[in-house]
Structure 1
Amino acid sequence: MKSLDDVKLSVLDLCPIVEGGTAADAFRDAVDLARHAERLGYERYWVAEHHNIPGVASAATAVVIGHVAGGTSRIRVGAGGIMLPNHAPLVIAEQFGTLASLYPGRIDLGLGRAPGGDQRTARALRRYQEEVDAFPRDVREVQNYFRPAGPGRFVHAIPGEGLDVPIWILGSSDFGARLAAELGLPYAFASHFAPDQLFDALAIYRENFIPSEALEKPYAMIGVNAFLADTDEAAVRLFSSHQQAILNLVRGRPGLLPPPVDDVEALWTPFERAHVDKMTRVSVVGSPETVRGRLQSLVNAVKPDEVVFSGHIYDHAARLRSYDLLMQVCRTSAAAEAASLPSSR
C-alpha cells in the first residue's frame, strides 16, 4: 500500500473568474493561492490554457506563470498545460526559456494536444490548421530547441537553448500515455475532468516506458478535484459551484464561476446529473475525516507519484482553507494509519 505521505502534492488552477469578480481579481487570488501553497509545502503550482470560457482567466498561460513565479520564491510554477497545437514550437520554447531564465530551476512545461476550447476558437487560434497527429513532431521540436546548439541548426530559441526546462506530456487517453512512454517523459493524466481511461492509460505508460536523459523510470501524476471544509455539509456546498460550472459546460453555456447553492439537485435533469457526475467522479469532497479514506483508496488503486489538486471554490478564503485541510490530511495519514493498527502487545 502506498501512503499519502509518499506522494507529492501539487495545485492546478485555472484562475477562475467568479460571478461579481474580474480577471484582475482572479490573478491576485492566483498569486495568493500560490504563496499559500508554497508555505504549506506543495510541490508545484500549475495553470492551464483554456480559451473562450468566461470563467477561466488563464488563457495567456505563460504570462500568468511569470506573474505567479514573480510573486513566489520556491514553489515550482508551470503549465498544466500549454495546448501545443495552438502554438509554434519555437514560440513556446522562447516563452519558457524566458521564464526559466527569470526563475531558474522553478519552471515546468506541460504539453497537451487538445485545443483548450471549442472548434470555432481553435480555428481562431490557428490561422493555418495542422493535423492533430503533428503533436508528437511538435513535442520533439520543442525538445530540440532546449538542447545545446549543434551542427546544422539554423534556428535557435533565445533564450531557451541549452536550458533545462522539464517537459511533461498531458493527456486523458492512451495517445499521450504512449507518447510520454516513448519519449521517456513524465505523464500527467487529466482524471479531474476526464477519468474514463485513467487506469488503462497509466498501465500503458508504465509498461511501455523507455528511459531517457530526462527520466530514468516512469513518473505519473493524476488530477483530483478537492473540496474540503470543516464539515461534510460545508464541503458539499463548496463543491456545488464546480458542479454548476460543469453543468454550464454540458449545456454549452459556459459562464463565470457561480456561488454555491444549498440544493444543487434542483438545477439539473437526471441526464445532466449523470454527465456531471461522470466528469467529476475523481473528486474528494468532505471533512478531513471523510476525505482521508477516499484519497488513500484512490492512491492505493492508482499508485501515482504525484497528485495535482484542483479546487475551484467561489470564496477565496474557503479555497485557501481547503488546501490547508488537504495538506493536513495527506501529511498526517501515516500517523493516522499507525494509530488504527492493532496493538502488538
Structure 2
Amino acid sequence: MTEFSVLDLVPVREGGSVAEAFDAATDLARYAEKLGCKRFWVAEHHAMDGIAGGATSVVLAHIGNATSRIRIGSGGIMLPNHTPFQIAEQFGTLDALFPGRIDLGLGRAPGAGPELQRALRKNLAQASEYFPQDVVELRALLTGDLDLPVAATPGLGANVELWMLGSSLFGAELAAKLGMPYAFAAHFAPDHLDAALEVYRRDFQPSEALEKPHVMVAMNVFAADTGEKAQLLASSQQQSFVRLRTGNPGKLPPPIADYTATLQAPARTMLDHIGQAAAVGSPAKVRDDIEVFVKRTRADEIILCGATYDPEARIRSLELTVEACSTALAA
C-alpha cells in the first residue's frame, strides 16, 4: 500500500506573520498525524519572505513537541550550506529528543545567489562538488562506520533515517550507490522523473540501512468539495511559482478565481509543465489522478505538497485526499 506523507514549506502569507506560519505548520502536522500520514517534512529555504523554514532543525523541534508519533524530517537540508558535523549534531539532538522519529533528507542544490553565499560564508559551487563525500562523512558521523578524528555529540549512534533528495539523475545515481531511500521532487521539477527512478532501481546497492530500493515522489495536491474550489485553492501557489520564476518572489498571495486565464502563454505553459505531478479537483478526481501517478511511478510513498492561503483549507484538502485514497491505494 502506498503511504502518504506531507511536505510543508512553512509559507508566510500576505498580511500574515512568521509566527502565524509556524502555528499553521504545527496545526497541519498534528492533523497529518491524526490522519495516519507517515512523515512531516520541512524544507530549507533562505532569504525568502514567503518561506519560514530556514532554520529547519529548530522548526522540526517545535513540530516534534507538538506531535507524538509521526516521523519528522527535512525535505530537505541543503548540505552545501552546512558542514556535515553541524548537521550531525543538529539531527543527533533531534533524535535524542524524539527517538525513532527523525528523517534527514539531503539535497545538493544550495539555491543561493552571491549575497547569500557571502552571508553563509560558503563557496557553494565548491561545496556542491564535495556533496557525495560530505554525505558519506555525515553518515559516518552518525553511524561510526568510518574512523573519523572527531565524534559528533549528540550525533554518533543516533537513529536517523537518511534520505537522498533529487530532481535529476545525479541524486538517483548517488542514492543507488549509497543504498539510501530516494525522494524525487516532481512537484517542481518533473522532467527526469521516470529516468531517475529507473536508474535508482536498476543500480541500487543494498546497504546496512536499506535492503531494497525505496521511492517517495512529491506531488502538488489540492482537494476540495468541488473542482472549482480546488482550482481556486491552487491559485495561491500558482501565483507564487510564477512570481518566483519571473524574478519577483514574495509572500503567499490570496487566491484568484480563474487565475490561469489571466496569464500569458509562457506562464500557462510553465504551470502546465508542473502540473504533470499534480492532482487538483474533487476528492474523486484527486483519488484517480494519484492512483494513475502511483501506477506510473510505483512509488512506495507519495509526499503531498501544496500551500494554501487559508491554512484550514490545506488541512481540509489533506483530509479529503487521505480519505478518498485510503481504499483505492490499498488494492
Shift of the 334–64 alpha-carbon distance from structure 1 to 2, 3 Å rule, reads closer
Instruction: Say whether the 8 Å CA contact 1:115–1:122 is kept in structure 2.
Output: no
Rg: which structure is higher?
A: 1
Kindly indicate whether the alpha-carbon contact (under 8 Å) linking 1:250 and 1:272 is maintained by their aligned counterparts in 2: no
CA distance 1:98–1:165, change in 2 (3 Å): same
Distance in 1 between residues matched to 2:316 and 2:234, nearest whole Å: 14
Shift of 1:126: 3.8
User: How many angstroms apart in 1 are the aligned matches of 2:210 and 2:327?
Assistant: 30
Structure 2 CA distance, aligned partners of 1:184 and 1:332?
31
**Do residues 133 (structure 1) and 129 (structure 2) align?**
yes
Residue 104 (structure 2) pairs with residue 145 (structure 1)? no
- Do residues 256 (structure 1) and 256 (structure 2) align? no
Residue-by-residue CA offset, 1:6-46 (whole Å, 9 max, x unaligned):
10100000000011101100001111100000000000000
> Structure 1: which amino acid aligns with 2:41?
W
Cα distance change of structure 1 residues 219 and 230 upon mapping to structure 2, 3 Å threshold: same
Contact 2:200–2:213 (Cα < 8 Å) also in 1: yes
AA of the residue aligned to 1:34: A
- CA offset digits 1:85-134 (Å, max 9, x no partner): 00011000000000000100001000000113445324432434424221
Mark the runs of 5 or more structure 1 residues left unpaired by the alignment: 1-5, 338-345
Q: Report what 1:270 is aligned to.
A: 265
Specify the alignment match of 1:232 in structure 2: 227
TM, length-normalised to structure 2: 0.96
- Give the Å deviation of 1:333: 1.4
Is 1:301–2:296 an aligned residue pair? yes
Aligned equivalents of 2:329, 2:248: Cα separation in 1: 44
Q: Which residue is 1:342 aligned to? A: none
**1:53/1:117 contact within 8 Å kept:** no
Cα distance, 1:268 vs structure 2? 2.2
Residue 210 in structure 1 maps to residue 205 in structure 2 = yes
State the match for 1:193 in structure 2.
188
Query: Aligned to 1:161, what secondary structure does the other structure show?
Result: coil
TM-score normalised by structure 1 residue count: 0.92
Alpha-carbon contact 1:50-1:117 (below 8 Å) kept: no
Q: Which amino acid aligns with 2:183?
A: A
What is the distance in 2 between the residues matched to 1:70 and 1:103? 8
Aligned match of 1:329:
324
1:320 lines up with 2:303 in the alignment: no
Relative to structure 1, is the Cα distance of residues 178 and 334 closer, same or farther in structure 2, using a 3 angstrom cutoff? closer
Task: Give the letter aligned to residue 131 of structure 2.
Answer: F
2:257 counterpart SS class: coil
- Cα RMSD (Å): 1.5
Question: Equivalent residue of 1:325, what SS?
Answer: helix
Q: 1:201-239, CA deviations, whole angstroms, 9 ceiling, x for partnerless residues? A: 000000000000010000000000010000000001101
CA contact (8 A) 2:93 2:155 kept: yes
Which of residues 1, 5, 8 is equivalent to 2:3? Answer: 8
The answer to whether residue 151 in structure 2 is matched with residue 156 in structure 1 is: yes
Aligned to 1:78: 73
Match of 1:115 among 104, 107, 110: 110
1:154 Cα deviation (Å)?
Answer: 2.3
2:17, 2:219 → 1: CA distance? 26
**Residue in structure 2 matched with residue 44 of structure 1 by the alignment:** 39
Give the match for residue 98 of structure 2.
Answer: 103
- Kindly provide the amino acid, as one letter, of the partner of residue 72 in structure 1: T
Q: Unaligned stretches of 5+ in structure 2?
A: none
State the number of aligned residues.
330
2:141, 2:148 within 8 Å by CA — same for their partners in 1? no
Q: Secondary structure at the match of 2:155?
A: coil
1:47-85 deviations in Å (ceiling 9; x for gaps): 000112211110111110111011100000000100000
Distance 1:118 1:330, change over 3 A: farther
Q: Which residue of 2 aligns with 1:3?
A: none
Q: Which amino acid aligns with 1:179?
A: L
